[in-house]
Structure 1
Amino acid sequence: MRLASYEHEGARRCGAVEGEEVLPFPEGTGLLDIVGGAPVPATGAPVPLSSVRLLPPLEPPSVRDFVTFEEHVEGVRRSVSGQAGVPEAWYDAPTFYFTNPASLVGAHEDVPVPPGSSVLDYELEVAAVVGPPGGDLTPERAREHIFGYTVFNDWSARDLQSREMQVGLGPCKGKDAAATLGPWLVTADELEPYRDADGFLRLALTAEVNGEVVGSDLLSNMGWTFEEMLAHASRGTRVRTGDVLGSGTCGNGGCLAELWGRNGRQDPPPLAPGDTVTLTVEGIGTVSNTVVPGRRVPTVRGARRRPRERP
């Protein structure tokens, strides 16, 4: 089943997607309730997908973005620091950071350039969505806690990210402005036919900028399965219904920064207003967002330098 949240005739609704139509659930139904185990309600008269504005499928309590593709780490590390290879610590466990659930945008929304940035990048990912909550899960148990999957684009202001992470913390504003989630949520059972013998989902991933393919990979090149990622995320804590777990950016052009690291220069160039990024994941769907000029907002001054006075 494919479940979507959308806006139609000024009202926010959700429903099941079948072909080129969406079958609306009763008014007041929220996808988070269904993800949490509520029965799927009866649907109303179909509405053409072409007449609705697709929204992020759900409003998640949290978004954890992992970094599970070795090839991506290798390329971006060379781009950012000039160092070759992958840090040994990457192999220890699936690392993630928390990103902003309030910044999610729909499958076809415009994406403004983040304030103060001139080096914007896309990141091609797949996200898993948690169904039943749980804690201290094993990978075996974790499969029962994954409700479904969606396409995820972790937009990145590389110039802001590079500077702020020199502090040894972050990323923060470099990843804070937008993240695409969509076009809908595909239930886990729909993707089981793509699972390989090692437990990975063998889905083809493609990234295009202005209609030109700049990246392609397989989701099965991840270093950990989503079940292992969820087990790690739940270790010593609890995951909640609707929590989003990003796979991290795929390799082979899953983002521009990886290509910059391999090419030794910013080629292809950073994204600019007017550029359209289209990401496709086999078995899930396609999102396509156009970059637009950002807003001018005031900056916070730099820190004051003070002597270490003591009382």
Structure 2
Amino acid sequence: MKFVTYDAGQGPRVGLLEGEQIFDVGFTGDMVAFIEAGAPIARREPVSGARLLAPLRPRSLRDFLAFEGHLKNAMGRLGRPIAPEWYTVPAYYKGLPDTVIGPEEEIPWPAYTERLDHELELAAIIGRRGKDIPKEEAMHYIFGYTIWNDVSARDVQTRELPVNMGPCKAKDWDGSNVLGPCIVTADEIDPGNLRMVVRVNGEVWGEDNSGHMHHTFADMIAYASQAQTLYPGEVFGSGTAAGGSGLELDRWLREGDVVELEIEGIGVLRNRIGKKQQKRGA
């Protein structure tokens, strides 16, 4: 099943997507509450005039770095080696849920960066509460999958990373995390074999397959849940697929560019890049 959050003029609602048609499922809460309640479907009424929103406002965002191909490409351009620890530790940084926007929304370009970049990621949504989850059981804790465009300010990231605190303003501004267009339930797709493509203005900039992930979602869930409870509605990102960012190609987004991230079985997440904002007082 493909679940969405939509607005048809009466505020956000949970819907079921079949082809191009959205059906209301009769649930009064948001997507996180829907997942937590066990996805009960009371009725299915077709909806007209609906606008897709971000499929959920996550409880939390954790972004991992699972694709060796991306890491080799990116580190090669930065003239830095891959840390040997990367091969053994599925490390992650945390994002801000309030920064999330959805499909077809304009991506804001903050005034403090000159180099805006997209990142093509597969994201898993936690569906069950759990703690100290064994790797062999971890996949049973996933409700479904969506697409994540982890937008980055690359020039700012270059300045921040040597501090060894992780990305900060390179990742955090209103609209810097894009999710959508839907959540596909875990029983519908194989996260270990999905074609992933990024297009800018209709031109293919990169392609990969989720089967190339070095760290699996099971690895991530087992690692993150050590001594910590995971809750329904938390989002785990795969990190960027190989070729999934402009950094790897030395190609950079411009105002007005249309970025399309496509993952097999999920759909296309499409957004336009906004005009660069002006600094206050400029």
TM-score normalized by the length of structure 2: 0.94
Residue 87 (str. 1) matches residue 83 (str. 2): yes
Shift of residue 158, structure 1, vs aligned partner: 0.2
Which residues in structure 2 correspond to 1:114-263 (within 5 Å)? 114-177=110-173, 178-191=176-189, 194=190, 201-251=192-242, 253-260=243-250
The equivalent position to 1:276 in structure 2, one of 229, 244, 258, is: 258
The separation in 2 between residues aligned to 1:102 and 1:173, in whole angstroms, is 14
Superimposed CA distance per residue, residues 246-269 of structure 1 (whole angstroms, 9 cap, x where no aligned partner): 000001x11011223xxxxxxx2x
Which residues in structure 2 correspond to 1:39-78 (within 5 Å)? 39-48=39-48, 51-78=49-76
TM-score normalized by the length of structure 1: 0.86
The separation in 1 between residues aligned to 2:125 and 2:102, in whole angstroms, is 16
The separation in 1 between residues aligned to 2:122 and 2:110, in whole angstroms, is 23
Q: Structure 2 unaligned runs (5+)?
A: none
What is the root-mean-square deviation in Å for CA atoms of aligned residues? 1.6
The separation in 2 between residues aligned to 1:219 and 1:242, in whole angstroms, is 22
Secondary structure in structure 2 of the residue aligned to 1:259: coil
Partner of 1:309: none
The separation in 2 between residues aligned to 1:30 and 1:169, in whole angstroms, is 33
The separation in 2 between residues aligned to 1:294 and 1:241, in whole angstroms, is 36
Which residues in structure 2 correspond to 1:95-106 (within 5 Å)? 95-106=91-102
The separation in 2 between residues aligned to 1:185 and 1:258, in whole angstroms, is 28
Contact 1:37 1:132 in 2 (8 A): no
The separation in 2 between residues aligned to 1:143 and 1:55, in whole angstroms, is 26
> Which contiguous aligned blocks of 4+ residues in structure 1 show a shift greater than 6 angstroms?
none
Whichever structure has more helix as a proportion of its residues is: 1
Contact 1:37 1:131 in 2 (8 A): no
Aligned-residue sequence identity (percent) comes to 39
Q: Structure 1 unaligned runs (5+)?
A: 195-199, 261-267, 300-311
Shift of residue 38, structure 1, vs aligned partner: 3.1
The separation in 1 between residues aligned to 2:168 and 2:39, in whole angstroms, is 38
Shift of residue 298, structure 1, vs aligned partner: 4.4
Q: Which amino acid aligns with 2:132?
A: D
Q: Which amino acid aligns with 1:246?
A: G
